[in-house]
């Protein structure tokens, strides 16, 4: 097919050092631009240079109003044939891809077997995707792709731009409509490179940040922008002659559907058969994810998830696998000893690094730049340090992320479910009355009681402060549904909207997004670029953890609470927190991360397993433990799960106190007009005095304030 009106510039080689970033502009005919398409695409793509300093490439099609930009990751097909944007052999499709399609070799073989393959120009997964689109169509191709990706495909015949995000949300993809012009990019700062620097802080997203310490998809910190949810696609069509774009959203894959179907076909062949089947699935997933033309290693914490991944890697490698661990001087937060034991038993080429508190704290000024949006999972600090350590030796790292959500690794699946069963034995009216009584007792009173108990009954009170335990107990007693219990367990601030100025008087939180475009549905809306205020329904729709799980399942039976929370975590906490943390930290140094536990076949089989294969006897991940025990007999994995924790509470009372005092200043907060100073100051005072441990709540406020300062 003849390319009419398109200008293609191949990427420039700069060495093999980073991950991909994609960006694009789609302008309807008649929509004016403050700058040329080419210039805008270059600005946006330059904002993603950290994701791909290997090279950049552009395609500009003035006639169709399209510009695509790409920052290259050189992992597969390091030749010129792997350059992007890439045009299909027949000329109909053009694509930019961030990520990897793990099963591209199988798709390529199928195209060849059925006589639908073109004359291949190289060995890249992007070329295979484009060939599959020409053979099978775009939607059918995406449904068959397995991997981690954010992908944009333009159909020159239909004049339609397709965007897709991978099934679990490993790779990000943001988009927006500004003055009738559609924009997309891997990170939001690239969208803000559009002329005029659009961006109004979304106060409802700020409230979500304070609840979860991250901003759940589809929302962003900016009113003007959204992000795709996992397994979601959007098609964008320019309305010829009307100067408008038409958006259609759909889900090509839904975890709730997979879980529902898997539970209807439970695995009944017994524990040994289950272990053999899972072992084969994990071996295949690890083997696919080790494919690269650059050095590959693994993160190794010494826990169950990462240790099993490393063991499977080493079994399939003819040389020692590079493994990496970060530790701290404080033994309560150090994992290097256990990781070294596992590495020595498996025979990996291990590197560990103990960092001081001062070294870790030096990462904090970089966080607003690295994460682009306010993000407040404090384990981001050691993850950044770990990525920097690994990048010295490798370009790709496998990780154990996802194992907890898929195989039941969090203590809330055990303790929370047990507490739920006990609380259900009490009458509702009694539970609510007791919760009210606990709420009436202030933190200072609980602190005095705790000091008295420590004095007269040493050891009877654990490390967690009573002033922190009692509100959680009250929330448990007040919960009437599993959703209520889960929300209380994952919420940092119980009523974050009360902290955000303006929400109580403007519940709608103005947005340009029309109420008729609920992201995640199959509905279509026309958008002519006029700013509209969203209805309350749209402002609140989406982005609350677990909402899909509660709507899709009637959880019943003995393991209902545990299964409900596992699914809710996989839908919310995993993509919105853990995968964001990992992607931004790794991308900041040009490191690609891959997650075998999120292989679709592994996840589907995990949902077929009886709950007892995952959780039982007071422990989680039972089937993974059995697989690991065969490879590391005698190594104990019953230590307390640390999850890359840091001594944040002590740091805020000590070396970070002046920094926190400045950001939490009542005068500063009042001047900015986003957050109410009074409740924040109360929490800060209680934390400084040791009455309550508010460090995780305050970290969300601090990260927002630091991010806000970086926008100036």
Tens digit of pLDDT for each residue in 470-491? 777 888 888 888 888 899 999 9
105 compared with 76, residue with greater pLDDT: 105
* In-domain check, residue 152: yes
- 651 lies in the same domain as 615: no
The answer to whether residues 180 and 31 touch, using CB atoms and an 8 Å cutoff, is yes
- 703 lies in the same domain as 592: no
- 109 lies in the same domain as 193: yes
- 683 lies in the same domain as 581: no
* pLDDT at residue 602 tops 90: yes
* In-domain check, residue 522: no
**Which band of pLDDT confidence, cut at 50, 70 and 90, is reported for residue 242?**
low
Which residue from 603, 696, 623 is spatially nearest to 166, judged by alpha carbons? Answer: 603
Lowest mean pLDDT among 88-102, 507-521, 556-570, 632-646: 507-521
Query: Alpha-carbon torsion 513, 515, 519, 523, what sign?
Result: negative
Residues noted as catalytic: 20
* In-domain check, residue 540: no
Which residue from 177, 185, 109, 119 is spatially nearest to 150, judged by alpha carbons? Answer: 185
pTM for the whole thing? Answer: 0.89
* In-domain check, residue 477: no
- 302 lies in the same domain as 168: no
Which residue from 76, 101, 21, 75 is spatially nearest to 599, judged by alpha carbons? Answer: 101
Q: State how far the Cα of 516 lies from the Cα of 222, in Å rounded to an integer.
A: 19
Which residue from 371, 18, 35 is spatially nearest to 188, judged by alpha carbons? Answer: 371
Query: Alpha-carbon torsion 419, 424, 430, 431, what sign?
Result: positive
pLDDT (average), residues 599-628: 95
Contacts of 625 (CB under 8 A, 6+ apart): 304, 619, 637
* In-domain check, residue 291: yes
**Which band of pLDDT confidence, cut at 50, 70 and 90, is reported for residue 511?**
very low
Looking at the structure of the chain, the number of domains it has is 3
* pLDDT at residue 240 tops 80: no
Residue numbers of the domain that contains 373? 257-409+573-631
**Which band of pLDDT confidence, cut at 50, 70 and 90, is reported for residue 462?**
low
The answer to whether residues 651 and 382 touch, using CB atoms and an 8 Å cutoff, is no
> Does 115 carry a binding-site annotation?
no
Cis previous bond, 85, omega within 30: yes
Boundary (domain end) residue, out of 631, 655, 673: 631
pLDDT value for 476: 83
pLDDT (average), residues 397-410: 97
- 580 lies in the same domain as 712: no
The answer to whether residues 397 and 440 touch, using CB atoms and an 8 Å cutoff, is no
Q: State how far the Cα of 603 lies from the Cα of 254, in Å rounded to an integer.
A: 12
The answer to whether residues 621 and 409 touch, using CB atoms and an 8 Å cutoff, is yes
pLDDT (average), residues 306-313: 98
pLDDT value for 642: 60
Angle at 545 between CA 543 and CA 548, to 5 degrees: 85
pLDDT value for 637: 86
**Which band of pLDDT confidence, cut at 50, 70 and 90, is reported for residue 645?**
confident
* pLDDT at residue 19 tops 60: no
Query: The tokens 């040009």 sit on which residue?
Result: 590
Q: State how far the Cα of 536 lies from the Cα of 522, in Å rounded to an integer.
A: 20
* In-domain check, residue 446: no
680 compared with 644, residue with greater pLDDT: 680
Q: State how far the Cα of 564 lies from the Cα of 567, in Å rounded to an integer.
A: 5
- 663 lies in the same domain as 625: no
> Does 399 carry a binding-site annotation?
yes
pLDDT (average), residues 612-621: 93
- 166 lies in the same domain as 60: yes
Residue range 151-198, pLDDT digits in tens: 999 999 999 999 999 999 999 999 999 888 999 999 999 999 988 766
Q: State how far the Cα of 138 lies from the Cα of 129, in Å rounded to an integer.
A: 9
C-alpha separations of 464 from 474, 492, 638, 690, 692 in Å = 16, 15, 20, 11, 9
CATH number for the domain spanning 387: value is 3.40.50.620
pLDDT value for 461: 52
Which residue from 220, 586, 526 is spatially nearest to 396, judged by alpha carbons? Answer: 586
**Which band of pLDDT confidence, cut at 50, 70 and 90, is reported for residue 25?**
very high
525 — phi, psi (to 5°)? -135, 145
* pLDDT at residue 418 tops 60: yes
* In-domain check, residue 585: yes
The pLDDT > 90 percentage for the chain reads 63
User: What is the SS3 string spanning 534-549?
Assistant: CCHHHHHCCCCCCHHH
Q: DSSP letter at 19?
A: -
Q: Which two tokens stand for residue 271?
A: 């524990």
Number of Cβ within 10 Å of residue 515's Cβ equals 17
The answer to whether residues 672 and 338 touch, using CB atoms and an 8 Å cutoff, is no
**Which band of pLDDT confidence, cut at 50, 70 and 90, is reported for residue 639?**
low
C-alpha separations of 343 from 271, 299, 324 in Å = 28, 11, 9
* pLDDT at residue 536 tops 70: no
- 581 lies in the same domain as 708: no
Q: State how far the Cα of 179 lies from the Cα of 185, in Å rounded to an integer.
A: 17
CATH number for the domain spanning 67: value is 3.60.20.10
Q: DSSP letter at 389?
A: H
Residue range 44-56, pLDDT digits in tens: 999 898 887 667 8
pLDDT (average), residues 131-160: 96
**Partners of residue 269 on adjacent β-strands:** none
- 332 lies in the same domain as 390: yes
Q: List helix spans (H) across 374-460.
A: 380-391, 403-407, 415-423, 428-440, 443-456
DSSP letters spanning 223-234 = TTEEEPPTTEEE
The answer to whether residues 670 and 197 touch, using CB atoms and an 8 Å cutoff, is no
* In-domain check, residue 97: yes
Number of Cβ within 10 Å of residue 175's Cβ equals 25
DSSP letters spanning 321-347 = PEEEEEEESSGGG--HHHHHHHHHHHT
pLDDT (average), residues 702-710: 97
pLDDT (average), residues 448-462: 62
Which residue from 620, 476, 499, 509 is spatially nearest to 559, judged by alpha carbons? Answer: 620
pLDDT value for 17: 30
- 157 lies in the same domain as 26: yes
pLDDT value for 512: 38
- 261 lies in the same domain as 322: yes
> Does 364 carry a binding-site annotation?
no
* pLDDT at residue 523 tops 50: no
> Does 540 carry a binding-site annotation?
no
């Amino acid at each position: 097919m003849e390319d009419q009106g398109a200008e293609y510039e191949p990427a420039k080689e700069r060495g093999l050092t980073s991950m991909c970033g994609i960006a694009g502009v789609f302008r309807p005919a008649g929509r004016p631009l403050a700058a040329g398409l080419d210039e805008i695409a270059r600005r946006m793509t330059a904002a993603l240079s950290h994701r791909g300093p290997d090279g950049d490439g552009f395609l500009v099609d003035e006639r169709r109003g399209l510009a695509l930009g790409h920052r290259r990751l050189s992992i597969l097909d390091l030749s010129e044939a792997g350059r992007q944007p890439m045009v299909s052999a027949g000329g109909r499709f053009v694509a930019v891809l961030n990520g990897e399609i793990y099963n591209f070799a199988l798709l390529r073989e199928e195209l060849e077997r059925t006589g639908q393959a073109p004359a291949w120009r190289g060995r890249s997964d992007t070329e295979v995707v484009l060939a599959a689109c020409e053979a099978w169509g775009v939607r059918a191709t995406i449904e068959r792709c397995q991997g981690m990706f954010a992908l944009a495909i333009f159909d020159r015949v239909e004049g339609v731009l397709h965007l897709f995000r991978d099934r679990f949300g490993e790779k990000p993809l943001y988009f927006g409509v500004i003055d009738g012009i559609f924009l997309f990019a891997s990170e939001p700062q690239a969208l803000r490179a559009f002329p005029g620097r659009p961006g109004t802080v979304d106060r409802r997203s700020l409230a979500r940040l304070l609840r979860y310490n991250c901003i759940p998809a589809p929302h962003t910190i900016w009113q003007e922008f959204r992000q795709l949810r996992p397994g979601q696609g959007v098609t964008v069509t320019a309305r010829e002659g009307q100067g408008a774009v038409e958006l259609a959203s759909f889900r090509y894959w839904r975890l709730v559907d997979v879980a529902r179907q898997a539970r209807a076909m439970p695995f009944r062949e017994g524990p040994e058969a289950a272990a053999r089947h899972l072992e084969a699935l994990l071996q295949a997933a690890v083997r696919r994810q080790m494919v690269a033309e650059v050095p590959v290693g693994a993160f190794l914490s010494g826990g169950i998830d990462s240790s099993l991944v490393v063991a499977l890697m080493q079994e399939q490698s003819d040389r020692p696998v590079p493994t990496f661990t970060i530790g701290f001087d404080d033994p309560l937060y150090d994992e290097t000893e256990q990781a070294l034991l596992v590495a020595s038993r498996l025979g990996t080429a291990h590197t560990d690094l103990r960092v001081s508190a001062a070294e870790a704290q030096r990462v904090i000024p970089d966080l607003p730049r690295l994460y682009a949006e306010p993000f407040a999972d404090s384990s981001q600090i050691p993850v950044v340090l770990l990525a920097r350590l690994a990048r010295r030796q490798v370009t790709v790292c496998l990780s154990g992320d996802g194992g907890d959500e898929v195989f039941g690794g969090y203590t809330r699946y055990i303790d929370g479910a047990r507490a739920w069963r006990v609380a259900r034995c009490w009458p509702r009216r009694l539970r609510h009355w007791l919760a009210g009584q606990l709420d009436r007792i202030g933190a200072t009173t609980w602190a005095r009681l705790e000091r008295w108990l420590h004095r007269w009954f040493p050891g009877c009170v654990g490390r967690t402060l009573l002033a922190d335990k009692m509100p959680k107990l009250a929330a448990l007693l007040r919960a009437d549904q599993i959703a209520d219990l889960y929300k209380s367990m994952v919420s940092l601030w119980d009523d974050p909207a009360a902290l955000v100025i303006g929400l109580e008087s403007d519940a709608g939180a103005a947005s340009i997004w029309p109420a008729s475009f609920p992201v995640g549905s199959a509905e279509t809306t026309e958008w002519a670029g006029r700013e509209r205020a969203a209805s309350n329904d749209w402002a609140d729709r989406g982005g609350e953890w677990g909402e899909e799980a509660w709507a899709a399942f009637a959880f019943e039976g003995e393991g209902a609470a545990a299964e409900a929370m596992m699914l809710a975590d996989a839908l919310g906490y995993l993509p919105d927190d853990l995968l964001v943390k990992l992607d931004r930290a790794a991308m900041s140094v040009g490191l690609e991360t891959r997650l075998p536990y999120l292989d679709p076949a592994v996840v589907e089989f995990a949902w077929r397993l009886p709950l007892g294969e995952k959780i039982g006897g007071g422990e989680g991940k039972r089937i993974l433990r059995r697989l690991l025990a065969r490879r590391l007999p005698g190594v104990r994995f019953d230590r307390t799960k640390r999850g890359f924790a840091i001594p944040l509470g002590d740091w805020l009372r000590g070396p970070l106190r002046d920094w926190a005092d400045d950001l939490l200043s009542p005068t500063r907060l009042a001047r900015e007009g986003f957050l109410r100073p009074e409740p924040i100051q109360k929490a800060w005072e209680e934390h400084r005095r040791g009455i309550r441990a508010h460090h995780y709540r305050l970290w969300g406020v601090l990260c927002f304030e630091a991010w806000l300062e970086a926008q100036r």
